[in-house]
Chain A
Amino acid sequence: MSVIYLLITISIVVAIGFFIAFIVAVKSGQYDDDYTPSVRMLFDDELKKEKPKSVQITKEKQI
């Protein structure tokens, strides 16, 4: 067996792997809404910033 068979086979297998990933992504509906996730992605950070602030306020009140 020449190495070229091996290399080509590997490259095709990798390509098929990506292809399957694409099919799965389409099937799960990732391409149906391409706007909302881009906004959603930014929210988590904002939330974390907000939380410590409110904790501080309640602490002050307790004092």
Chain B
Amino acid sequence: MTIVMFLKESICDFCHRYKEQIIMSKHNCFHCGLDIVMTKKPSEIVWENQIFFDDKLFCCNGCKTVYEIFSLNDMSCYYDFEKSPGATPLDINGKYDFLDNESIVSKLLEFHEDSTAIVSLNIPHIHCSSCIWILENLQRLQKGINTSQVNFPEKKVRITYNPQIVSLQMIVGLLSSIGYEPYISLDNYETGTATIDRSLTYKLGVAFFCFGNIMLLSFPEYFEVKEFWLDQYRGFFRGLIFALSLPSFFYSANGYYVSAYKSIKSRMLNIDIPIALGIIVMFGRSTFDIVMDYGSGFFDSLTGLIFFMLLGKMFQIKTYSFLSFERDFKSYFPIAITKINSNTTEESIPVYDIQKGDRLLIRNQELIPVDGILISEKAQIDYSFVTGEAIPITKKSGDKIFAGGKQMGKIIEMEVLHTVSQSYLTQLWSNAIFQKNVEQKHKTITDSISRYFTPILLLIAFLGFGYWIFIDATIAFNVFTAVLIVACPCALALTAPFTFGNVLRLLGKQHFYLKNALVIEQLAKVDTLVFDKTGTITTNMKSNISYQGQPLDNENIRIIKNVLRASNHPLSRMLYAFLPEANPLKMDAFEEIAGKGILSCIGAIEIKIGSYEFVNQNAINPVLASFPLGISGVENTSVHITIDGVYFGCYIFNNHYRDGLADLFQKLKANYQIKVLSGDNAGERATLEQLLPAGTELVFNQKPEQKLAFIKKLQDEGKNVMMIGDGLNDAGALAQSNVGISISENVNVFSPACDAILDANEFQKLDYFLKLSKNAIKTIKMSFVLSLLYNVVGLSFAITGNLLPLVAAIIMPLSTITIVSFVTLMSMYYARKK
């Protein structure tokens, strides 16, 4: 009786609510800024599904809790610096259990003693001043934390704490509970403190110190007034200038001598040879001049030259410290994993200690670190790290599962087949391409020019010497040194660093981050582009969803949307985002069956959403297996719907290609050969052929090593290859290619080792970036011509034996300034030109 009553009531309630107009109101969460949609009927006063606390609105209980923690500890000025700065804390239940293992913790710590321990944690969420404030006031939230210091550019927090009062696990738990979950991966294992190379800064400091003081002391000489007082102290001034030039000559400039020596040894004429030659000759002649009292020497120009060249080097180095270009599988893999012992006890062990035959426990959202066999009944494994494919794959008991996948859903058990280093994916890193430290795998533009420059320069110097030696030996000596001094390719050497440094910054502003300046030259040389398919030219943020079957009316769509709201399955989330906005309904029952689908009741209506088999069970009108087929005849991912036992149809998920892809390829086609590599089957061939310009080579079913080999083959044919990929399976190809670009939806977290990281939103600008790099090379060439003109003017002074220290002191800085401003303006101009 009561059941019937209840049913009737709920149906009535359902109809009633559907008919009555509902008011919706949009707000933002006070903590994280997420949109909140509140609804109510006009007759009601209270808004539905709202979380109200302390006169503030929150999107979820998690955000509310963080606010409570802060306001309880009198720290609500967190919200004053920035509007809605927070992040919703995620459930970390059991995720950091491994931190109770002493040996693992000790590997993470920078410093450890009885009552002091220091740890550096990487926190990707750090993004504003509120973050800095809250993380530097951690000691007010947790006893035992002494100090904490944020490094904003690196997104790191360094915490000093007392391990006798508080454990690392508690600190990590605290950080996670306030929405600042640290990112701990195998990469952190045994890192210790990295030593930072600051030698360039020191060298620059020394060079500037010497340059500045020598400039001041040289002033009297410039005016060359025959005055008693100046003549009186000339020796003292010159001696001092000589002494001051020593640190600059011996310390600041030593990088050039080393590089010149190395290049002579390897029989490659690089730009550092004429530089080193110029510096040494300048120093030698100036010392000679002073000792013999011929003149004041060129110490001012010498130190100025060293300073400006080091400045150029400094400018060229633009590092994005929050990005890492050296990531391998270690940055993704967990540091420890739960092992099930033979006596069914659980234990956290470091990933490197995993043995063949071990039984491991993988929790929700945990990464599988080794290859193995699934023991549990079913698993949903998300391989998006590896392949870029966002939709999880279902595995059954006994199936082989590969390292790099992420478990979605319930806890699973697995048995280990290979250790970490021998797993399918990690084996890729034993390839030779990852072993050698390829510092200079190609010649730079400056070096190729200096191949001609250096011999010509020496020729002129000897010709001048040969001519004058018959007239006057002293002049001959002067001319010889003057040629080498003037022609010292200061301007030439400055051109490339300043152009590249500037372009590097301009690209960085547009979310295209290069590892270093050399990449720009490589970009300009590229003639073949190889794209990965999944995750690179397709996006996993959006899916192309289409419906097939009996038409659904608005009410049905509304019901489906409400059921999906409660589900966390990626397909549900995607479908939920795809369906139009609908008013909320009250659900009476909800059950998510892993690997099958969702069973839910709204009022008396039973809804099944999920796989074909699951949905068609006991359906009134079972449709015989009519799997939705993609254009190419291969099965696509789909979600089927039954409402009240009536099978309606299914939503089909197609790959969604990035916006502007066809346009981009059309533009690139003119200048480049384009190829698409895919680890998937040929299912999308027809779509791709339609979308991409004719002549694009499509290769399917490629394993990671095959991708690497493919690139290598192209290179052997003499091509300059640029690889654009995203997942770990592209890592080999990215390392092998001349330029490896990794596309990333979130540049802070995921990207394999590469030469450049491109924000996925800027993908369609790729042709602009390539064009800009070509223009950068053009700018350099123009400026080379300019600096050669300067050299001609200077040489005409030198060869006639008229090079005075004052002339040198004017020519050198002048050429430097014109060159630097020329290349800066030109690169800005080219960057603006779309």
Contacts and interface: CB of A to CB of B under 8 A. Distances in A.
Interface of A: 2, 4-5, 8, 11-12, 15, 19, 22-23, 26-27, 29, 31-36, 39-40, 42-43, 46-47, 50, 54
Interface of B: 74, 77, 80-81, 129, 132-133, 136, 149-154, 196, 198, 201-202, 205-206, 209, 212-213, 216-217, 233, 236, 240
Contacts of B77: 46-47, 50
A9 to B, nearest CB: 9
B151 A33 contact: yes
A23 B212 CA distance: 16
22 contacts: A4-B233, A11-B216, A19-B206, A22-B205, A26-B201, A26-B202, A26-B205, A27-B198, A29-B196, A31-B198, A32-B151, A32-B196, A33-B151, A36-B149, A36-B150, A39-B129, A39-B132, A40-B132, A40-B136, A42-B129, A43-B132, A46-B81
Contact of B205 (A4, A19, A50): A19
A33 B153 contact: yes
B196 A5 contact: no
Contacts of A33: 151-154
Given A31-B201, A50-B77, A12 B213 contact: yes
Given A15-B209, A32-B196, A47-B77, A8 B240 contact: yes
A15 B132 contact: no
Contacts of B198: 26-27, 31
Nearest to B153: A35
Contacts of A40: 132, 136, 150
A13 to B, nearest CB: 11
B236 A15 contact: no
Nearest to B237: A8
Contacts of B233: 2, 4
| Shortest beta-carbon contacts, A-B, top 9 | A36-B152, A39-B129, A33-B151, A35-B152, A50-B77, A19-B209, A26-B201, A54-B74, A22-B205
A15 B136 contact: no
Nearest to B232: A2
B205 A36 contact: no
Contacts, number: 60
A23 to B, nearest CB: 7
Contacts of A34: 153
A36 B151 contact: yes
Contacts of A32: 151, 196
Given A12-B213, A39-B132, A40-B132, A23 B80 contact: no
Given A11-B216, A31-B201, A36-B152, 13 more contacts: A2-B233, A4-B236, A8-B217, A33-B151, A33-B153, A35-B152, A36-B132, A36-B151, A39-B129, A40-B150, A43-B132, A47-B77, A50-B74
A11 B240 CA distance: 12
B808 to A, nearest CB: 24
Contacts of B149: 36
Nearest to A29: B196
B206 to A, nearest CB: 8
Contacts of A2: 233
Contacts of A50: 74, 77
A1 B150 CA distance: 54
A52 to B, nearest CB: 12
A11 B244 CA distance: 13
Contacts of A29: 196
A6 B240 CA distance: 13
B80 to A, nearest CB: 7
Contacts of A27: 198
B338 to A, nearest CB: 36
Name which of A4, A36, A42, A47 has the most chain B CB atoms within 10 A of its CB.
A36
B160 to A, nearest CB: 15
A10 B205 CA distance: 20
A57 B455 CA distance: 82
Nearest to A15: B213
B31 to A, nearest CB: 18
Contacts of A46: 77, 80-81, 133
A23 B205 contact: yes
